[in-house]
Amino acid sequence: MTLLIDRDKCLACGECAERCILDNIRVQTPPCRAACPVDLNPQQFVTLVALGRTQEAAEAIYARVPFPRLLANLCPAPCQGRCTRRGVDQAVAIHALERFLVEGHQPSADRFAPGPETGERVAVVGAGPAGMTAAVRLRQAGHKVVLFESQGQAGGGVRADLAPELLAAETELLDRLEVDQRLGTRVGGSVSLSELRRDFLAILLAVGSGADLEFAVREGAELDPDGRLKVDPAILSISLEGLFAAGQMLAGVDNPVAAMGSAQRVVEFVDRFVRGQSLKLPPALRAGKVLPAQVDSRRIVELRAQAATGTPDRSAPVPQDELSGEPVARRAADACLRCAEAVDYYDECWYCLPCEVECPTNALILEIPFLVR
Ligand code: SF4
Ligand code: SF4
């Protein structure tokens, strides 16, 4: 074993795995991340809070999620349902920590810059959380995006749940990325789907649950027995060439954050379609450099025994509604068991050191044999 990992500092961020020139390192996925619809890594931002690096913790969220206020206010926190700490006492207050970070820290002004322009045009129909997220990601991929929304304002179903000033602060990103927003324009009303099919290379439908799909059926789109658009689950395309679907119009997507997650997934396929690439992802892209975390059940039993005798070597979780201020946030973050870590996958090492040098928390130390040193 060559890698020594300080479990209290490892973010399971994968930076070391990316840097290893021998492709020797893999990073595990903590259960909280595996449950997250938008692939946030709670171990990463929670650990950064525990280390007192709250701005970096907030940036880890901002870099992944275009609309963080929506996440901080409306996420049902499936991560907490899977949190290993529940086996000891209760889940880490991941969602309250998210709120603490998003409410108290500003994102950098240039996050989600548009990519090099491809000159291709994509239509997104529906400006709810899924449509908005897809619009941002497609701009990042360099495509021109026209976002059609039947209402006079973006936001879709979350307009009723978010304060207007919070929603306005979120939709500002669409303006900054020059997403062409056609508000008050109903597809199937003042503009038809066949016009969109004529003018755009790809179309992403994100019209929400319970929307009237007659406009798509008239064009030949098929419905499933539940009256939803029939979707290829692997690539989220519908039965018309170049048309894809995202958000709560999909079966099993039942909240705004899951809707944003489905948009992040489908955009990869829309982008490949627009670039004329195969929609079958190569196995290497699908697998990535991740492994499931191996949670040591003996550790849970030990912590449970410690909790019973009142001599814990880790903080007890702070209840969600008691989290306010940085000292309490740090204590709440300290309860995390850091379920995942970087691992020496092939036990193959040239001691070239970029993994150790680039680790953001100095969690990784290479054990260099005396003769190499
Ligand atoms: S060892 Fe460092 S670089 Fe590697 S996953 Fe952990 S924190 Fe990230
Ligand atoms: S203990 Fe920490 S790393 Fe493990 S599931 Fe809970 S928040 Fe995630």
Domains in the chain and their CATH numbers? 1-30+340-373 (3.30.70.20), 32-111+295-334 (no CATH), 121-274 (3.50.50.60)
- The mean per-residue pLDDT over the stretch 308-337 comes to 84
217 versus 109: which is more confidently predicted? 217
Choosing from 2, 6, 9, 10 the residue with most ligand 1 atoms within 8 A of its CB, the one to mutate for a pocket test is 10
The residues lining ligand 1, judged by C-beta closer than 6 Å to any ligand atom, are 5, 10-16, 27, 342, 359-361, 363-364
Give the model's pLDDT for residue 289. Answer: 61
DSSP string, 44-84: HHHHHHHTT-HHHHHHHHHHH-S-HHHHHHH---HHHHT-G
Separation of CA 94 and ligand 1 centre (Å): 20
Separation of CA 24 and ligand 2 centre (Å): 25
Residue 14, Ramachandran bin (φ over 0: left; ψ between -120 and 50: alpha; else beta): left
Where do we find the tokens 């649950």? 209
144 lines ligand 2 (CB under 6 A): no
Point out the ligand nearest to the CA of residue 17.
Answer: 1
Separation of CA 79 and ligand 1 centre (Å): 21
- The mean per-residue pLDDT over the stretch 255-280 comes to 95
How buried is 172 (Cβ within 10 angstroms: 0-12 exposed, 13-18 middle, 19+ buried)? exposed
95 lines ligand 2 (CB under 6 A): no
Where do we find the tokens 């990073």? 27
Give me the chain's average pLDDT, please: 91
Question: What CA–CA distance (Å, rounded) separates 220 from 241?
Answer: 11
pLDDT higher than threshold 80 for residue 130? yes
Nearest CA to ligand 2 atom 8: 32
338 lines ligand 2 (CB under 6 A): yes
pLDDT higher than threshold 60 for residue 350? yes
Highest mean pLDDT among 201-205, 325-329, 352-356: 201-205
114-118, 254-258, 323-327, range with the lowest pLDDT: 323-327
Give the model's pLDDT for residue 285. Answer: 53
- The mean per-residue pLDDT over the stretch 276-283 comes to 80
104-113, 148-157, 200-209, range with the lowest pLDDT: 104-113
Separation of CA 37 and ligand 2 centre (Å): 16
Give the model's pLDDT for residue 2. Answer: 81
